[in-house]
Chains A and B, each alone.
Chain A
Amino acid sequence: MAEFNSKDTGAFKGVWVFCEQREGVIMSTSYQLLSEGRKLANDLGVELAGVVLGHNVKEEYLKALGGYGADKVYYCDHELLNVYTTDAYTKVICDLVEEKKPEIFLIGATNIGRDLGPRCAARLHTGLTADCTHLDVDVAKYKEFLKTTSTIDVDNTVFEENTNLKMTRPAFGGHLMATIICPRFRPQMSTVRPGVMQTQAYDEAGAARTVVEKVAVQLSREDIHVDVLEVKKAAKKLVDLIGADVVVSVGRGISKDVEKGLALAEELAGVLGGVVGASRACVDAGWISADHQVGQTGKTVHPRIYVALGISGAIQHKAGMQDSECIIAVNKNESAPIFEVASYGIVGDLYKVAPMLIEAIRTLKASK
């Protein structure tokens, strides 16, 4: 094997997605990334491969990756890959990248992906863009994207034509968006924010077609400098904000009577068939657990209905919910920034408005 040189950009081909598994189960982020990776691979006319590291992962799970667009699955099986360690995963992935040379490598920006990605990029001497929310290779498609999401006068701006991966991500807490490229090194690496990319419909034929290639893993205990003593799931069932159809969130406005505010949010979420979210202020104040947090440092959601009760709408919060289809905001302060993104706004006391809203929706549903 020739020596690996990340600068030899012409030698790299294909799109890869790291498909993270925990306890043998592929994480849903992987399907989102494969679906996105499929589009990029089509634009480039190359193959899309999923990369799975684990131990005794079921064949059907591996094949299923084809249902989300993977032409091929590289499966690295080793008992030391069962549970994630930075050392083991970095070694196995870098060995594989050095051998197969993909041009694009996408990793889900999970707590593990964001540990693994930078370590691999540093070892491979290539660039990595963190926590991306949009990806393009085709300039025309990128321009279309900018037309709806930016203030740039797209038609009167010069864009350098190339097929580099254009990795767009929020910066400065969502105040700015930046599109990053990695023109001189390969692979072009990106961690992608969970919940942002849409998962394509499962394709049976694709699953049947996909080829699983078992990779010979070179790994020993000496390669790993940590001991994982325990992996523990949180006792409480965490709220599934990302998958929710309706999110009713509360903010600092419930400080007057936290218990009542939360109870109202739960009741409203109940009648709408949704879950309760919260702004960072509520989580920081200890009123609600961190898994409910929507926003830049919490979760990005785009439900069908997002109700904001007593949320002022700091830009960090808006970053996590502004793509919701219908936003209903209730806030005492008429100049609260949340109203800038709201589809419907009511200036009023949430303790008064929410019960009326619950009542009115109940009446409506009963009448149907």
Chain B
Amino acid sequence: MKAIVCVKQVPDTSGVVAVKEDGTMDRAAMATITNHDDLAAVEAALRIKDATGCKVVVVSMGPPPAEGMLRELLAMGCDEAVLVSAREFGGSDTYATSQILAAAIKKIGVEEDDVIFCGRQAIDGDTAQVGPQIAEKLHVPQVSYVAEITVEGKSVTVKRLLEDGYMTIKVATPCLLTCVKELNPARYMSVGGIMECYQKPLEVYNYETLKDDPLIDVDTIGLKGSPTNVYKSFSPPVKGAGMMLEGADKAAVDKLVGLLDEKHII
């Protein structure tokens, strides 16, 4: 079997967030990280590799600098990387992105016992849509919100999280699983892995590479092929300043409780 893992490089929204004058995110001014849920997916695949020796291929759609992230994943132990990158792919929404990634995965080749991994969702868009949509485009079954994985021959048994519990689901391969970051803390790159990662294969798929796939059509990829568009984007206003109480002693606390009482809050 082989594992194909879809990963995304995202701006680090936990740090300083740069917003351009027009209200859109200034991605260039922000540090980039590998999406957390995707790292859990990579780790899930690497653990299957540890157990079975299977090959792990990582694939990412993004601008050329995303190569740096892919090299890091190779340094963690992945075997091959594919960067899907072309001007024609820019501006894609989840629908269009899944068309392109599905075409790329078909090019990598999906065999009978393969498993495709995605992160549950990316921290920049938080849509959780691309994984299931790739599965639909590839006509393979999906299980999302996966928190535990056991591979046995031509099927995979997973624990799928619900809000108030979980389901245990057996799914036939090839299939697509979207992983939650709680699944596994990702391993670190190793010193030896870093020394080897620039020798490992990294292929770039551009428009030319994928254009013969029926999924790749001007009507279904890029900004023009995206069913959804941004109507407006805006920053939420900062809420008006509240009242800061003087000191942190009994007097301050009594005053606060008095105010809460006065306003019938408690």
In the complex they form, whether A and B have CB atoms below 8 Å apart is answered with yes
Tell yes or no: A208 within 8 A of B by CB: no
Question: Once the chains are docked, how many angstroms separate the CA of A159 from the CA of B93?
Answer: 22
For chain B, the bracket of interface size reads 35 or more
- Within 8 Å of chain A (Cβ to Cβ): is B152? no
Q: Are B168 and A232 in contact (CB under 8 A)?
A: yes
B-chain residues with CB within 8 Å of residue A325 when the two chains form the complex: 265
Does B260 reach chain A (CB closer than 8 Å)?
yes
- The answer, yes or no, to whether B157 is at the interface (CB within 8 Å) is yes
Which B residues are in CB contact (< 8 Å) with A166?
A: 231
A81 touches B (CB below 8 Å): no
Per-position binary interface string of chain A over residues 88-125, scored 1 when its CB falls under 8 Å from any chain B CB and 0 otherwise:
00100000000000000000001110110111011101
Does B28 lie at the interface of the complex (its beta carbon under 8 Å from any beta carbon of A)?
no
Task: Find out whether the CB atom of B95 lies under 8 angstroms from the CB atom of A122.
Answer: yes
User: A127 to chain B: which residues have CB within 8 Å?
Assistant: 93, 95, 226-228
Complex interface residues of chain B between 182 and 241 (CB less than 8 A to chain A): 182, 226-239, 241
Known: A114-B144, A178-B230, A364-B257. A340 touches B129 (CB 8 A): no
Q: Report yes or no: A364 in contact with B261, Cβ–Cβ below 8 A.
A: yes
> Which of chain B's residues have a CB closer than 8 A to the CB of A171?
25, 124-126, 233
The smallest beta-carbon distance between A363 and chain B, in angstroms, is 8
B257, chain A: closest CB distance, angstroms: 4
Stretch in B58-66, B69-77, B134-142 touching the partner = B134-142
Whether B98 is near chain A, meaning CB under 8 Å from some CB there, is yes
- Give the shortest distance, in Å, between A336 (CB) and chain B (any CB): 11
A184 at the interface (CB under 8 A from B): yes
Most buried by A among B232, B243, B250: B232
Q: Spot the interface stretch: A46-54, A67-75, A146-154, A251-259.
A: A146-154
Residues of B within 8 A of A314 (CB): 14
Residue of B143, B162, B228 ringed by the most chain A CB atoms within 10 A: B228
Given contacts A176-B233, A231-B165, A346-B248, contact A296 B126 (CB under 8 A): yes
Tell me if B242 and A180 are in contact (CB < 8 A). no
Nearest residue, chain A, Cβ from B131: A118
Q: Cα distance A177–B13 when bound, in Å?
A: 14
Contact B230 A111, beta carbon cutoff 8 Å? no
Find the residue from A172, A174, A349 having the highest chain B CB count within 10 A. Answer: A172
For A117, what are the chain B residues with a Cβ–Cβ distance below 8 Å? 129
B223 to chain A, nearest CB (A): 13
Tell me, rounded to whole Å, the shortest Cβ–Cβ distance linking A270 to chain B: 13
Q: How far is the CB of A344 from chain B (nearest CB, A)?
A: 5
Cross-chain contact A326 with B248 (CB below 8 angstroms) = no
Cβ of A356 within 8 Å of any chain B Cβ, yes or no, is: yes
Which B residues lie within 8 Å of A150 (CB)? 234-237
Within 8 A of A (CB), among B234-266: 234-239, 241-245, 247-250, 252-254, 256-257, 259-261, 263, 265-266
Which residue of the partner chain A has the closest CB to B157? A229
- Bound state CA distance, A175 and B24, in angstroms? 10
Q: A127-B227, A328-B256 are in contact. Are A176 and B23 (CB under 8 A)?
A: yes
Which A residue's beta carbon lies closest to that of B261? A364
A173 contact set on B, CB distance < 8 A: 13-14, 17, 123, 126
Give the most central of B11, B17, B162: most A CB within 10 Å: B162
Interface of B (DSSP majority class): mixed
Of the candidate stretches A32-40, A197-205, A220-228, the one touching chain B is A220-228
Query: What mask results when residues 136 to 173 of chain B are scored 1 for a CB within 8 Å of chain A, else 0?
Result: 11000111110000000000010011111111111110
Does A129 reach chain B (CB closer than 8 Å)? yes
In the bound complex, how far is the Cα of B14 from the Cα of A296, in angstroms? 12
Which residues on A sit within 8 Å (CB–CB) of B252?
346, 348
Residues in A14-73 with C-beta less than 8 Å from chain B:
22
Q: Does B128 have its Cβ within 8 Å of any Cβ on chain A?
A: yes
What are the residues of chain B within 8 A of A83 when measuring CB–CB?
A: 167
Is A185 an interface position by the 8 A CB rule? yes
B242→A344 contact, CB < 8 A: yes
Taking a contact as CB atoms under 8 Å apart, the answer to whether B142 and A360 are in contact is no
B94 located at the interface, meaning its Cβ lies under 8 Å from any Cβ of chain A in the complex: yes
Given contacts A128-B228, A173-B17, A344-B245, 15 further A-B contacts (CB under 8 A): A86-B141, A111-B161, A115-B132, A127-B227, A129-B228, A130-B94, A130-B129, A146-B234, A176-B233, A177-B236, A179-B231, A231-B167, A340-B239, A341-B239, A341-B242
Query: What is the interface of chain B, defined by CB distance below 8 A to chain A?
Result: 11, 13-14, 17, 19, 23-25, 93-95, 98, 123-133, 135-137, 141-145, 157, 160-172, 175, 182, 226-239, 241-245, 247-250, 252-254, 256-257, 259-261, 263, 265-266
- Can you name 17 A-B pairs with beta carbons within 8 Å? A118-B128, A123-B136, A146-B232, A171-B25, A181-B229, A226-B141, A227-B170, A229-B169, A229-B170, A230-B168, A232-B167, A234-B165, A304-B265, A342-B242, A344-B256, A347-B248, A353-B253
